[in-house]
Amino acid sequence: MKRITILISAIALLVAACGAGDGVVDAGPVTTATGDGLTTTTQAPSDSTAPPTTADPSTSTTTTTAAPTPTRFVDVYFVKDAEYAVPVATAVPDTPQVATNAIRALIAGPTPDQEAAGLFSAVPSDTLLLGITIDNGLARLDLSREFEAGGGSFSMLARLAQVVYTLTQFSTIDAVELWLDGAPVTVFSGEGLLLEGPMLPSDYFSALPLAPTGTAERWDQDDIGDLSAYGSQIRRVVLVTEDDVLNVRADAGVQNDIIGMLAPGTVIGLSGSSTTVGSSTWVEIVTPAGDGWVNAHFLSEVVSDEAFAADDRVLALLNEMANIVYAEGDLSQVASRRGFYIWHHDGPVRFSASELVDVMTDPTTYKWGSNALDVTDPDQASEIPSRTFAEAIGTSFASTWDDPDREFKYDEPFEGGNGRPAAWAIPYRLSGFHYVSIYDSGDNPDFAGLDWTIWHVSIDYEDGEPVVVGLTIDQWAP
């Protein structure tokens, strides 16, 4: 087995068991391509993003961009109390350059709250990421020389371990080859660490072990037990992909130990306590292992099918949304606190609540997903018209909802003549919410019914009130 030869003595620590990720762990494969590098510049929208600036409507200038980038959670490895490497779930743009985004998050370092919890990074914050290429399981990571600045064998080993642990979480990366300023590294830093070939996670298990995680279990509904005593104080796990989990922690915040993991769709009971950590709200829940804490972003109020179908406020909500569209008003008035998750033949694309305030007058245009063309292919993307949110989403929804021939159903999808089958109509991440399916069969006889449109509007309940959390379109146009 390859090893790292250290020309001076280093601190040796005990090997620890592998750690599970923090927050919501993306367990799926990462999509990367050779040349994964500095091509992603769009920042993921967040609830703290300021509303976009509205251009002077008298001008003819518009900005064409890609659709706002959704986020995903990746593990970024920091050092805990100078003893262990701890994976911290960090939201990064959900782009094909996810490995690049993970390293950028690593260089950015821990937040003040994470530092207060004993986490730090040995990676110098002035390190520059020059590029990453991934080929046949090997990631070639090119950083600036600042990465080897400083001294101390533990510091050097720790930063190498952080990089290797962070990159090899992805199924496409088995080993890491380090380059600095465009040249391969065989002797690292003034400490004289010899890098004998690509680096593996096992090279660092003794120098910086992975944090022990105990025996955290994955719980589904069968493990939770009877919730009848909780009344309205029950919540469903939502916005988690099918192969993912929601981590349950010993206390609020991702720096705390994982005591269990909840499968998507699981309904749990609240114990009554909540607190704010950074910009996130955490709530205490009851689990088979006792009380634990989860991020409330991934919980939804539970409303029965019958109560949802009988709730007149839902149709009033859709009417209000259509009226706001026509008035070019503030869509945050009908939106979830999370904003809108939009599947436009691709996705998700998330618009935060603050972005929805004036999105109907925002002149920014996007290359929205297409049901026939690949938006990531430059040749095909050139055929996709650039449209604003108002054109692609707002007006399309409102005209479908207000069409005199439109039909709608609760929690049952319509199928277009050549659209998605009903089983795949609702994206999995939205499957925990109720929805209204709206169908406009098309009005132009010349198109023989090909100009149909379907919108599935996902509805959440917040403080007992229905709000829009997701919009999914299916359509075929001549």
End-to-end CA distance of the chain: 60
> How far apart are alpha carbons 377 and 369 in whole angstroms?
11
User: Residue 138: its pLDDT value, please?
Assistant: 94
Per-residue pLDDT tens for 140-184? Answer: 999 999 999 987 889 999 999 999 999 999 988 999 999 999 999
> How far apart are alpha carbons 115 and 121 in whole angstroms?
9
User: Residue 478: its pLDDT value, please?
Assistant: 54
User: Residue 215: its pLDDT value, please?
Assistant: 58
The b/e string for 81-96 (b: 16+ C-beta within 10 A; e otherwise) is eeebbbbbbbbbbbbe
Tokens of 55: 């251009």
Other Cβ atoms less than 10 A from the Cβ of 202: the count is: 13
User: Which has the higher per-residue pLDDT, 37 or 382?
Assistant: 382
> How far apart are alpha carbons 351 and 43 in whole angstroms?
12
The b/e string for 112-133 (b: 16+ C-beta within 10 A; e otherwise) is eebeebebebbbbeebebebbb
User: Residue 213: its pLDDT value, please?
Assistant: 57
Per-residue pLDDT tens for 445-454? Answer: 777 667 889 9
Mean pLDDT of the chain: 82
> How far apart are alpha carbons 255 and 21 in whole angstroms?
10
Per-residue pLDDT tens for 400-436? Answer: 999 999 999 999 999 877 777 878 889 999 999 999 9
Q: Which CATH number fits domain 217-301: 3.40.50.300, 2.30.30.40, 1.10.287.180, 3.40.630.10?
A: 2.30.30.40
The residue count for the chain:
478
Other Cβ atoms less than 10 A from the Cβ of 325: the count is: 22
User: Residue 11: its pLDDT value, please?
Assistant: 25
- pLDDT surpasses 70 at 477: no
Global pTM?
0.62
217-301 matches 305-475 in fold: no
- Class of the domain covering 305-475: alpha beta
Q: What ranges do the domains of the chain cover?
A: 4-36+60-204, 217-301, 305-475
- pLDDT surpasses 70 at 13: no
Q: Identify the band that residue 214 occupies on the pLDDT scale cut at 50, 70 and 90.
A: low
- pLDDT surpasses 50 at 9: no
Q: Which of 84-88, 177-181, 322-326, 346-350 has the lowest mean pLDDT?
A: 346-350
**What is the arrangement of strands in the sheet containing 407-410, beginning at the earlier edge strand?**
349-351, 340-344, 465-475, 453-462, 434-440, 407-410
Instruction: Give the three-class secondary structure for 195.
Output: strand
